[in-house]
A and B are shown apart, each in its own frame.
Chain A
Amino acid sequence: MPFDLPAVEALAPDQSSLTAASKLNRPAKWSALAHEDDLWWGEAQGSGANPYRVVVDGTDVGYKCTCPSRKFPCKHSLALMWIQATSPTSFAEGTRPQWVSDWMGRRRTTTTSAPKTAPASKSIDDATVAEEPPDPQAEAKRAAAAAKRAQATRASITDGLDELDRWIVDQVRLGLAAFADNALDRCRKIAARLVDAKATNLASRLDEMPSRLLAVPTEERPDVAVRELGKIVLLTTAWRTDPHAPQVARDVGAAEQREQVLTNPEAVQVAGRWEVVGEQITTRRDGLVSHTTWLLNLADAEATGDAEATGDTEKAGDTEKTRDAATLRFAVLADFYPASAGRREQVFTDGAQLDATMAFYPSPAPLRAVIAARTDAPVRQEWPTPAPDPDPLAQCADAWAAVPWQLEHPVLLPAGRVVEADDTRLWWKADAGGAGLPLAGTHDLVLHGLELTSTVGLWDGFRLTLLAAQTPFGRVSLV
């Protein structure tokens, strides 16, 4: 059954949902809009880094969206129905993807159909009424109030960081051995103080520090403590130097909204072919789920260099804020949502390749990004070939010099193997000799036999967490 606007109106849980849906009912806000008979689906870019997947079934007005909204249907489902009702040609004919099939397999079909009449409290017309132009005086007042609030927040954070500095010195004076033993309590207390001071992200970082300490053997915990506390000192020092620096403000306070990144002229955008090389989903102590997706830029650095050298502007990029491919080798999409919202479905398949423009959060060493635009890649592309280097961590040097408080950095390693040290710990070792990096976690014995022609991992100063690798047996996921 095709949708019509009265049906959408009737399905909406309230007027605000309709109003929110009206802002999403343009195909430009969506990607991968397609349908198969009466099954319609698409991906809407919400406020998070990962898009929401939405599917509606026209036969019985069933719907499903991966967003955490507690309204049913949510604004994304309503918007998809709305687009179907007003612009059905926006949907390409297609074969249902696996995630749609999975949903269809799980759901129980019902005979319920949309109510024919809408309660008077909801109206499509009201939802589409153009917003009144802002009152310049009111806008100015709001801006002044916001600036005042921001100043107060910065002052509050600075006070919190002063307390944090004293706390750090106390931990060192009391001994790092005792700190490692009692890190959970100590970190929780100072994290709570930082939350009060509005240094939210730094509070989360301190709250998670014990888990990073306890993840390593006892004899290494003082080293981890030195590194973690030292990096926090670097961050607080950077705050005092320039609290407006985007990376500093983000790592201490709160991150920018997606729309702010997309409209920020300082945000670098990189268009190219990206491969999903790993996904990490962890529940933090503050109750938020951290959903991190790592992407590898597949552009060949040498080819790009040639393009720039020859002045081929079409290949080398033609806008100020658009860098060419391969200048940034990695991107990370980070989403945070309450654990109570339930497990969110995976958006990207591991190993999937996409042609996308990544908008990076402003930073001297851009890494975190949101997807500005994307399409699925038609043909798979090979990984770039990293050159053998006696120090495989040299590739992180610039990033760590620019953002020295960063905890981990992705690396693309040259040909190597997994070897077993005499103490039975596993290491990645370069074929070219020299460098070796100890591995985090445990790995299947089979990995010892694989020749890793190139490897992507996360280096945290002590351990390498393997994400994915190319081998004679093809690409392998190692998360």
Chain B
Amino acid sequence: MTHLDETYSTLRDCWIAGGQGSQVAPAEWRPLLTDDPDTDERRLLAIASQAFEVGLRPALGTHTTRPPLPPLARPVVAERMRPLVRRVLAAERTADRVLDLLDRRGCTMHPLDWFPGGSDADLPEVYRPWQEWARETAGRPVTTVHPDDDLDDADDWDHLYPSARRWLLRRLRASDPPAARTVLDQHFASVQAAERLGLLEVVGQTGLCDDDVPFLESLATDRSGKVKTLSRQLLMRLGHLEVDPDDLAELCTFVTVKKKVLLPTTVSPTKTKTDVLRRRRDQLFATTGFADFATALGISRDELIDGWRLGDHSATTALVEMVVATGTCDDAAHLAKVLLSKHTTGRNQNHHTYLATPLAARLDTAAHVAVLTALPQLGLWAVHQWVGERAATFGDVADVSWLSTAAFAQLCGTNDPIDVASANTLALMCPPDVAATIAERAREAGVGPHYLDMFTLSAELAHPTEGA
């Protein structure tokens, strides 16, 4: 401690309790004092206050310096666009869609605008160094496996966090399915139930084929009910699970099939008289397979979908869940088209769109676009409901002919209500030039700028150096 420190501390301690500083002032300060104690006190206060500027400096003791934030493989978004990015982020429910858009345009978020948590799943790969930095600063084990590394070593597996395991499993399922199956055989049983379910979802989403049957059959005795149910559904999807014929026969009693010579076949859910019956029907929908159901009714799968009467939402919901769980991608796309084609503009009549939403999880991008192209009358809100969180993963949809219809018209000045999320969905699906055109036309039509931020961002990210 310096002399000034000591002097200041003595004076301060005197003043804290209430006392005369002049009595404890150091000898070299005394020439400044007078006969007036009030004046002396004020002078000492003035000198003490100046000590902070002149002689006292805060002393940093032992401290921790975090490792520098690693640079990413892609540049952060241009400075001039960061306010726009922040506005778009604020309007979105989560950052996922904005991240995907930036990823598509070859840039990344600024770390102070958005930063990943250590356990965020399904982020674009480019943010992995930041995720690992976040984990390291949080004191958790850091994943050291590079994306190009093979996931075939037990030590690697133990060092991976759940989202990384899912990410690498998905990659292996696409590039080397046998290696992926080996990894599952070795490690699946050793992880927790929630993680097992996540890994099994990856199996269902990526290259599900007959070679997966032995693994799926081995899960019949899994400790988790959800894992067992999902594995049964995947087996049904592959046609490798025998369903109890009595259950199928009982399920068939809940619908009425009318076949006519010149008219299409109709399949009408029978009205259930009690809640017990309804629950039983829903249970049968959940434990049997779609293909088996159609066969038991004596009609094709397409006839079942086309002929399904939509009056009973509870029954339709059960059918949708059955198709999501055990139908093929074509079945899901077909049923989605049927449901979405019933969409009308009034928001209270949009329940068919809600019913169709779970089917989106079974479709790839091309199938999504095919559905949209087949239904050009879909309004902005219905498009948003259907595409939703996956809009940014579409890439820039090359064929935007459907944009000239209802959704576009709605955005550009009709009196239909629109919301920012729906407008953003449309923006995320447009190529940059189309996004720029729509933004311009909508702005001319008087649409508020906050509805058009995502269009502007999408367009400007394609030309990052302009106006910089």
A449 contacts which chain B residues (CB < 8 A)? Answer: 66-69, 111, 133, 137
B12 and A223 contact, CB distance less than 8 A:
yes
Please tell me if B60 contacts chain A, counting CB pairs below 8 Å: yes
Cβ of B448 within 8 Å of any chain A Cβ, yes or no, is yes
In Å, the complex CA distance between A437 and B110 comes to: 26
- Contacting pair B53 A404 (CB below 8 A): yes
Say if the beta carbon of A474 comes within 8 Å of chain B. yes
A177 contacts B60, CB within 8 Å?
Answer: no
Within 8 A of A (CB), among B42-90: 42-43, 45-50, 52-54, 57-69, 71, 76, 79, 83
Q: Is the CB of B38 within 8 A of A165?
A: yes
Q: Given A444-B115, A446-B115, A449-B67: A175 and B53 within 8 A (CB)?
A: no
Question: Are A472 and B71 CB-contacts (below 8 A) given A421-B62, A422-B62?
Answer: yes
CB neighbors of B among A71-93 (8 A): none
Q: Are B17 and A175 in contact (CB under 8 A)?
A: yes
Known: A421-B62, A449-B133. A172 touches B15 (CB 8 A): yes
- For chain B, residues 79 to 125, give those with C-beta under 8 angstroms from any C-beta of chain A: 79, 83, 110-112, 115
Set A230, A393, A444, A446: member contacting B50, Cβ < 8 A: A230
Decide: B111 and A473 in contact? CB cutoff 8 A: yes
A237/B46 in contact, CB under 8 A: yes
- Check if A451 is an interface residue, CB within 8 A of chain B: yes
Give A461's nearest chain B residue, CB to CB: B52
Q: If the complex has contacts A450-B69, A451-B68, are A391 and B46 also in contact, measured as CB distance less than 8 A? A: no
B446 contacts the other chain (Cβ, under 8 Å)?
A: yes
Distance A48 CA – B52 CA, assembled complex (angstroms) = 33
Q: For the complex, what is the distance from the CA of A237 to the CA of B32, rounded to whole Å?
A: 15
Question: Is B450 in the interface zone, CB < 8 Å from A?
Answer: yes
- Does A438 sit at the interface, judged by CB under 8 A? yes
Q: Mark B11-35, 1 if CB is under 8 A from A, else 0.
A: 1100111111100000000000000
Do residues B448 and A105 form an inter-chain contact, with CB atoms below 8 A? Answer: yes
Q: List, in ascending order, chain A residues with CB within 8 A of B19's CB.
A: 173, 175
Partner of B79 from the list A165, A351, A451 (CB cut-off 8 Å) is A351
Minimum Cβ distance to chain A for residue B90 (Å): 14
With both chains docked as a complex, state the minimum distance between the C-beta of B216 and any C-beta of chain A, in angstroms. Answer: 42
- At the interface, yes or no: A255 with Cβ under 8 Å from chain B? no
The proximity string for A residues 427-460 relative to B, scoring 1 for CB distances below 8 Å and 0 otherwise, is 1010000011110000011111111000000000
Asked if A226 contacts B42 (CB within 8 A), the reply is no
Are the CB atoms of A427 and B60 closer together than 8 Å? Answer: yes
> With A226-B49, A231-B49, A449-B69 as given contacts, are A105 and B449 in contact (CB-CB < 8 Å)?
yes
Residue B41 interfacial (CB < 8 Å) = yes
Q: Across the interface, do B63 and A461 meet the contact criterion of CB distance under 8 Å?
A: no
Q: Are B46 and A429 in contact (CB under 8 A)?
A: no
Query: Which residues of chain A have C-beta atoms less than 8 A from B18's C-beta?
Result: 172-178
- How far does the alpha carbon of A240 sit from the alpha carbon of B61 in the complex, in Å? 42
Residue numbers in A under 8 Å from B20 (CB-CB): 173
Are A175 and B15 touching (Cβ within 8 A)?
yes
Closest A residue to B49 by beta carbon equals A230
Which residues from A are CB-within-8-Å of B58?
427, 436-438, 462
User: A106 to B448, Cβ gap below 8 A?
Assistant: yes
Q: Is B50's CB under 8 angstroms from A226's CB?
A: no
Check if A445 sits within 8 Å of B137, measured CB to CB: yes
Evaluate contact between B83 and A349: CB separation under 8 angstroms: yes
A118 within 8 A of B: no
A residues 160-201 in Cβ contact with B at 8 Å: 165-166, 168-169, 172-178
- Chain A residue numbers with a CB within 8 Å of B68 are 449-451
Instruction: Point out the residue from B48, B53, B64, B137 that lies within 8 Å of A226, measured CB to CB.
Output: B48
What are the residues of chain A within 8 A of B66 when measuring CB–CB? Answer: 419-420, 448-449
Inter-chain contact A230/B60, CB cutoff 8 Å: no
The residues of A that contact B83 with a CB separation of less than 8 Å are: 349
One of B53, B63, B134, B448 near A429 (C-beta < 8 A)? B63
- Which single residue of chain A is at the shortest CB-CB distance from B8? A226
A383 at the interface (CB under 8 A from B): no
Q: Is A396 an interface residue (CB 8 A)?
A: yes
Report the minimal beta-carbon distance from A104 to chain B, rounded to whole angstroms.
Answer: 8
- Are B21's CB and A172's CB within 8 A? yes
B137: min CB distance to chain A, Å: 6
- Give A361 to B383 CA distance when docked, in angstroms: 59
Contact between A177 and B16 (Cβ–Cβ < 8 Å)? yes
Is A233's beta carbon under 8 Å from chain B? yes
Within the assembled complex, what's the spacing in Å between the Cα atoms of A88 and B230? 72
B306 vs chain A, min Cβ distance (A)? 45
Let me know if A222 is at the binding interface, CB within 8 A. Answer: yes
Which residues on A are within 8 Å of B, measured CB to CB? 98, 101-102, 104-106, 109, 165-166, 168-169, 172-178, 222-223, 226-231, 233-234, 237, 349, 351, 391, 393, 396-397, 400, 404, 417, 419-422, 427, 429, 435-438, 444-451, 461-462, 472-477
A-B contact pairs, 13 of them (CB 8 A): A101-B449, A105-B450, A169-B42, A175-B19, A233-B43, A233-B46, A420-B64, A420-B66, A449-B66, A449-B133, A450-B111, A451-B69, A462-B52
* Top 4 A-B residue pairs of the complex, sorted by shortest distance between their CB atoms: A230-B49, A175-B18, A436-B60, A449-B69
Extra inter-chain contacts (20) besides given A109-B446, A234-B49, CB under 8 Å = A98-B449, A105-B448, A168-B42, A169-B38, A174-B18, A176-B18, A222-B16, A227-B52, A234-B46, A396-B53, A404-B53, A422-B61, A427-B58, A436-B59, A438-B58, A461-B52, A473-B111, A474-B76, A474-B79, A476-B110
